[in-house]
Amino acid sequence: MQIKHLILSGLMLAVACAFAQADDEDAPWKESAVPPPPAIGKNTPIPLEMPPYVSLRYGVDPDSLSISKEGVVRYVMIATNPSGAMNAMYEGIRCATGEVRTYAVYGASGKWVDVKDSKWRGMNDNLPSKHALALARQGACVDRYSPASSPAAIIRELKYPGSSRIQ
Ordered structural domains, the chain, with CATH: 46-165 (2.40.128)
Per-residue pLDDT of the chain in tens (167 residues, 90 and over written 9): 565 544 545 445 444 444 444 445 667 888 889 999 988 878 899 999 999 988 999 999 999 999 999 999 999 999 999 999 999 999 999 999 999 999 999 977 889 999 999 999 999 876 667 899 999 999 999 987 899 999 999 999 999 987 765 44
Each residue of 124-145: b (16+ CB within 10 Å) or e?
Answer: eeeeebbbbbbbbebbbbbeee
Question: What pTM was estimated for this model as a whole?
Answer: 0.79
Provide long-range contacts, Cβ within 8 A and 24+ apart, for 136-140: 136/73, 136/93, 136/95, 136/98, 138/48, 138/49, 139/164, 140/73, 140/75, 140/93, 140/95
